[in-house]
Structures are given as structure tokens and as C-alpha cells.
């Protein structure tokens, strides 16, 4: 199975800040990387697919980048509603696997 | 409007079989895939398996011996059955619509299952 390693595991930032979350795959996943947001007590929601494509309705302050084994999610101008756990997921090979998650809190 | 809703028992006895139903609306099961994903309390996400739009299935090898996924397209329902449940199967189970193979673009609210006597 492809292993997905996310960092950091937790992150504290202030409103208006820019934050970046990293995701490292154990092998090349050819940009088949998605990011999900899970708000407290809710189910995950798709933010980004194919490394940098924004899902419908997702604010433009979210962006994704990367290739090969290294990917990142950037949130510009952090808002209070962005407090969530963020997961990366490789969808290149079965079984699809998720990173351990990054818990984003407000400072 | 795309919706998925999981239903099933909240409590299952150890060694018994879990049966969950995912009822979908706003899309056709013959056009989209439906995945099952679980999440232990406070932990990460584990993909369990998928019902492909064509009617075939794929399972996580770690669960394959215990897991079965089926569907009834006339009722817009996908079913998950997992046997020999143990305490480590206490978790929230989600069904999710699949887009482009393993990307999941819509999720149900989740079904919390506790395995306990």
C-alpha cells in the first residue's frame, strides 16, 4: 500500500495568516492527490483533486500544488470557518490511502 | 442535490455481523461509484471498499475476508456487510460518492457503530 505522511500533525495560526500543510507519498502518485476538510463533528468534504483542481464551491483562498511524491495545501488569509482537520489522500492506486490528518486551530 | 445517508444499528455484539445501508439521491448508482470509508474516534480515515458503477466491487485487502458490498439500483441503495466484528471495529462508517475512481466528492453524515456486549 502507498503510505501518506502528513505534516504537521497540528497547527495553530491567526486569522488572516497563510498556512501550508504538506503531504508526502511513499512513491510517485502522478498528481493523483486529493485534499479533504473535516469540520468538527462533520463528515469530510472534498476540497481539491488532482493535486491542484479546486472542487466546486471551495473558496479560492485554498490552493494545492505538488508533483511526484510531494504535495501541499495552502490556505491564504485564514478564516475562522477554516478550523478543521485536513486529510490528504492518494487516489493513484488501490487501496486509496489517507494521511494521518492535520488539525488546524486558531491562535 | 446529491445526498447520501447511512443507516444501521448503533450497537453490534462482538463476533456478530454489521449491516449498513447507504441510501443515495440526486445521482444514479449506475453512473457513479460508492465507497465505504471508516474513521475510529479521533483518528484517521480507512478506505474499506467500493461498489463500482458497473456493479463490480473492490475491497481493502486488510478487510476483504470479512467484507461484502452489494447494491439494489431500484432502491438507490448500497449495502455493507462485515462479519466477525471486534472492539476495534467500533468506529464511524461513511459512504461516499466516487468521482474519477477513488476521489470522493460527496459524503454521508456517517453512522456510528459500537461493538460491545
Residue A20 at interface with chain B, using a CB cutoff of 8 Å: no
Please give the Cα distance from B37 to B64 (Å, whole number). 14
Residue A36 at interface with chain B, using a CB cutoff of 8 Å: yes
Closest CA to B6 of B97, B101, B105: B97
Q: Are strands B91-99 and B103-107 parallel, antiparallel or unpaired?
A: antiparallel
Q: Quick check: A44 and B107 CB within 8 A?
A: yes
Q: Find the CB nearest A96 among B47, B105, B106.
A: B47
Residue A16 contacts residue A76 (beta carbons within 8 Å):
no
Model pLDDT for residues A28-85, shown as the tens digit of each residue:
999 999 999 999 999 999 999 999 999 999 999 999 999 999 999 999 999 999 999 9
CA B13 from centroid of its chain's CA atoms: 19
Q: Quick check: B44 and A101 CB within 8 A?
A: yes
- For chain B positions 24-53, those within 8 Å of chain A (CB to CB) are 44-47
Q: What is the mean pLDDT of each run of 10 residues along chain B (117 residues)?
A: 96 97 98 96 93 97 96 98 96 94 95 96
- Show the cell assigned to B87: 472492539
CA dihedral of residues A105, A56, A61, A87 (deg, nearest 10): 40
Amino acid at each position: 500500500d502507498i503510505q501518506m505522511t502528513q505534516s504537521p500533525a497540528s497547527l495553530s495560526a491567526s486569522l488572516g495568516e497563510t498556512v501550508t500543510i504538506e503531504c508526502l507519498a511513499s512513491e510517485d502518485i502522478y498528481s493523483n492527490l486529493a485534499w479533504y476538510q473535516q469540520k468538527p463533528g462533520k463528515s469530510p468534504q472534498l476540497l481539491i483533486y488532482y493535486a491542484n483542481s479546486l472542487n466546486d464551491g471551495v473558496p479560492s483562498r485554498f490552493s494545492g500544488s505538488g508533483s511526484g511524491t510531494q504535495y501541499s495545501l495552502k490556505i491564504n488569509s485564514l478564516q475562522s470557518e477554516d478550523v478543521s482537520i485536513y486529510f490528504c489522500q492518494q487516489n493513484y492506486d488501490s487501496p486509496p490511502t489517507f494521511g494521518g490528518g492535520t488539525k488546524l486551530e486558531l491562535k | 442535490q446529491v445526498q447520501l445517508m447511512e443507516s444501521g444499528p448503533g450497537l453490534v455484539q462482538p463476533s456478530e455481523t454489521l449491516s449498513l445501508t447507504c441510501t443515495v439521491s440526486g445521482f444514479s448508482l449506475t453512473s457513479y461509484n460508492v465507497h465505504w470509508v471508516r474513521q475510529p474516534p479521533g483518528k484517521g480515515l480507512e478506505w474499506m471498499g467500493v461498489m463500482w458503477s458497473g456493479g463490480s466491487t473492490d475491497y481493502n485487502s486488510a478487510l476483504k475476508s470479512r467484507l461484502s458490498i452489494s447494491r439494489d439500483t431500484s432502491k438507490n441503495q448500497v449495502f455493507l456487510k462485515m462479519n466477525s466484528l471486534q472492539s476495534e471495529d467500533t468506529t464511524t462508517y461513511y459512504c461516499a460518492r466516487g468521482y474519477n475512481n477513488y476521489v470522493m466528492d460527496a459524503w454521508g453524515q456517517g453512522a456510528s457503530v459500537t461493538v460491545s456486549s
